Amino acid sequence: MDSNEAIFNGLKDAGIDFIVSVPCVNLSKLLNMIDEDGEITHVPVTREEEGIGICAGAYLGGMKPAILMQNSGLGNSINGLKSLTELYEFPLLMIMSHRGTEGENICGQVPMGESTPLLLKAMDYKFFKPAHPEGAYEDVKEAWDLSKEEGKPVSVLLEIKYW
């Protein structure tokens, strides 16, 4: 499995069938794979918090939702995650490209990159940081199971070195 296949296969084997996305260059191949999969409803959104609402609605309608985004989108989503997803105990898998980590070449990504794990901890949301594709495949499946069990969002952070 390469780095993209690992995430994609994890999503498929977790049963994820509804994905909203805001792109990141590191997610571009994965987003193409999702777009081409006939069993997954893929909805690109204009801003991440909008995607949180769409995922909640999709879950109300019986689907298994995930959001794919850059970690900057976590900053745009916090109220929706707290006062919708967590409040009503909607499960949500968050696959985040974690910019601003080792190997980052854009300084603007660094402040949010450094704060992302701290924010997730402050929000009391669990997250995984897989180092290689085999781990990522397992982490994606486990993150969805954990999210269903806890009724809270669970994230998989994909640092630059992962790819």
Partner 1 sequence: MARREAIEEIMKYIDDELVICNIGFPSRELYDIKDRQKNFYMIGSMGLASSIGLGLALAKPNEDIVVIDGDGALLMNMGSMVTVFANNPKNLTWIVIDNGAYGSTGNQDTYAQKLDLVDVARGVGFKNSHNFKDINLKEFIRSDDASFIVYTTDSGNSNAAIIDLTPIEIKNRFMNSI
Residues that bind partner 1 (CB under 8 A): 18, 41, 43-47, 49-63, 65, 79-80, 82-84, 87-90
Q: Which is nearer to partner 1, 89 or 124 (CB)?
A: 89
Is the CA virtual torsion 75, 81, 14, 145 positive or negative?
A: positive
DSSP 125: -
- What is the C-alpha separation between 151 and 148, in angstroms, rounded? 5
Structure tokens at 120: 């997730």
Identify the CA nearest to 53 among candidates 76, 80, 16. Answer: 80
Q: How far is the CB of 85 from partner 1 (least distance, A)?
A: 9
- What is the C-alpha separation between 55 and 51, in angstroms, rounded? 6
Q: How far is the CB of 108 from partner 1 (least distance, A)?
A: 22
Q: Which is nearer to partner 1, 87 or 131 (CB)?
A: 87
Q: How far is the CB of 41 from partner 1 (least distance, A)?
A: 6
Within a 10 A sphere around the Cβ of 43, how many other Cβ atoms?
A: 15
Q: Which is nearer to partner 1, 63 or 160 (CB)?
A: 63
Q: Which is nearer to partner 1, 82 or 129 (CB)?
A: 82
Q: How far is the CB of 46 from partner 1 (least distance, A)?
A: 3
